Amino acid sequence: MRMVRTWIRSLGRVSIPRIALVVVCCCFMLILTTNMDIGEGIFKFVRVRRCTDNTVSEASEFRTSTDITSHGDRKHIHRQSLIENVTSSNKYDVTVVTAYFDLGTFRKGSVTQFSTETYLSWCNTFRYLLNPLIVYTDSQKFYHLMKNIRNDTANRTRIHLINRNSSWAFQLRSNISKVFSQKGYPKHYPNTVLPEYACAQLAKYDVISRASRDDVFKTNYVMWLDVGYFRDRKSTNFFSLRRPKGYNESRVAMNVIQANTNMAMPVTDIFRNNLVWVGGGLVFANRDIIPRFETQLKKAVDYFLSRRVMNTDQQVVYALFSDEGRRGIRPNIELQLYTPPGDKCWFYLGNIMLNSTNNIHTTQQILVYVILTCIYLTNK
């Protein structure tokens, strides 16, 4: 009480403008502490997105102007406060689903080699993802690594160690192998060479549908995210993925890779020439839509296998919505296309869905400055 009386007496020596400034600062501090979203909005600005076919970098529709890297206990406390905020407010209404099936080392493209270690090295990004996460894998090593990475968000994480043959996609391995073994069938590494790779790409629709039906986290939306989608993101700031703007609730959102695609292209050419229309690295939809889309895609896979053609899910989706595919399969769940400013922007959709929380540190600093200013003015 003595301190309070002393502080009140000191106000008598402060000018009216200074008192007004203190009041304004206190109100500002109250807004920031009671509604962090408002505080964050003050410091956000739009940066120009850069699209490349091999990097995500820090491109994003919404980014903040200052990155402050914390460490040690302070970082742990900050992470915990973010996690508690997520749990209490349930503000992240998108469940992220990913999977890794260990195919060993294989050739990717003309010379690149992908191995188990390649995928393991990409996992650390998931440490900073605030959304609920569901992981499926047949790899003990991957399972334990993801458990460690998501240790601080265990209450928002489910990691399933499964038998790959429990997926209808891997049950088609023999049929896919027969297609790839046809004399003269083009070899695109690994798409039309390694049957297990094609199976793994198709299995994403199986696991995302499982997650939708289980609905563990009670979110309205579910999305597939490749393990390596944000592999070039170097920031250690937390981030979340949100519903993309303009999303149609009855459709499945995907990223356009080649805008001027010929939809009259024969499906045989699509598969054999390894053509791509939309990317399979991110698939977003209302939770109720995904199981219906999975059924539709599986029907397409069976149809194209009967035509003696196959490739990855990207060729299946292109062929499904081509003129010929529409006539043969009659899809009833349409795509919502998100088209980047240029072709082969593989990560455009993920970047416009990304919401970084790195400015919380900046907000905390401002709060400190406001408090110090108030103390200085009232004692001057």
Average pLDDT score over residue span 101-127: 94
Better-predicted residue by pLDDT, 369 or 288: 288
3-state helix/strand/coil string of 141-179: HHHHHHHHHCHHHHHHEEEEECCHHHCHHHHCHHHHHHH
Rounded CA-CA distance 149/75 in Å is 15
Two tokens, residue 76? 């742990």
Task: Give the chain's end-to-end CA distance (angstroms, integer).
Answer: 21
Q: Which of 175, 147, 152 is nearest to 298 (CA)?
A: 175
Query: Tell me, what amino acid is at 318?
Result: Y
Q: Would the pLDDT of 41 be above 70?
A: no
Task: Classify 351 as helix, strand or coil.
Answer: helix
Rounded CA-CA distance 201/172 in Å is 12
Q: Which of 205, 212, 318 is nearest to 261 (CA)?
A: 318
Q: Would the pLDDT of 80 be above 90?
A: no
Q: Are 327 and 259 in contact (CB under 8 A)?
A: no
Percent of the chain with pLDDT over 90: 67
Phi-psi region of 235 (alpha: psi -120 to 50; beta: other; left: phi over 0): beta
Q: What is the pLDDT of residue 343?
A: 87
**How far lies 318's CA from each of 101, 186, 294, 322, in Å?**
24, 18, 15, 6
Q: What is the DSSP string of 199-254?
A: HHHHHHHHHHHHHHHH-TT--SEEEEE-TTTTTT----S-EEE-PPTT--TTSEEE
**Where is average pLDDT lowest: 2-16, 52-66, 101-115?**
52-66
Average pLDDT of the chain to the nearest whole number: 81
Q: Residue 150: CA atoms inside 13 Å, Cβ hemisphere, count?
A: 22
Better-predicted residue by pLDDT, 188 or 365: 188
**How far lies 215's CA from each of 12, 166, 208, 218, in Å?**
60, 19, 10, 5
Q: Are 245 and 352 in contact (CB under 8 A)?
A: yes
Two tokens, residue 210? 């499982």
Q: Each residue of 213-262: pLDDT tens digit?
A: 999 999 999 999 999 999 999 999 999 999 999 999 999 999 999 999 99
Rounded CA-CA distance 172/296 in Å is 16
Better-predicted residue by pLDDT, 343 or 278: 278
**Cis geometry, peptide bond prior to residue 190 (ω within 30 degrees of 0):** yes
Rounded CA-CA distance 315/270 in Å is 6
Better-predicted residue by pLDDT, 344 or 100: 100
Q: Would the pLDDT of 334 be above 70?
A: yes
Q: Which of 223, 188, 207, 208 is nearest to 312 (CA)?
A: 188
Rounded CA-CA distance 100/162 in Å is 10
**Where is average pLDDT lowest: 4-13, 39-48, 185-194, 251-260?**
39-48
Provide the pairing of β-strand 252-256 with 335-338.
parallel
Q: Residue 38: CA atoms inside 13 Å, Cβ hemisphere, count?
A: 9
Q: Which domains does the chain have, with CATH numbers?
A: 2-39+367-379 (no CATH), 69-357 (3.90.550)
Secondary structure E strands in 34-83: 44-46, 62-64
Secondary structure E strands in the chain: 44-46, 62-64, 94-100, 106-108, 112-114, 133-137, 157-161, 221-225, 239-241, 252-256, 278-286, 335-338, 354-356
**Where is average pLDDT lowest: 40-44, 113-117, 120-124, 251-255?**
40-44
The model's pTM is 0.75
Q: Which DSSP letter does residue 82 get?
A: H
Average pLDDT score over residue span 6-27: 54
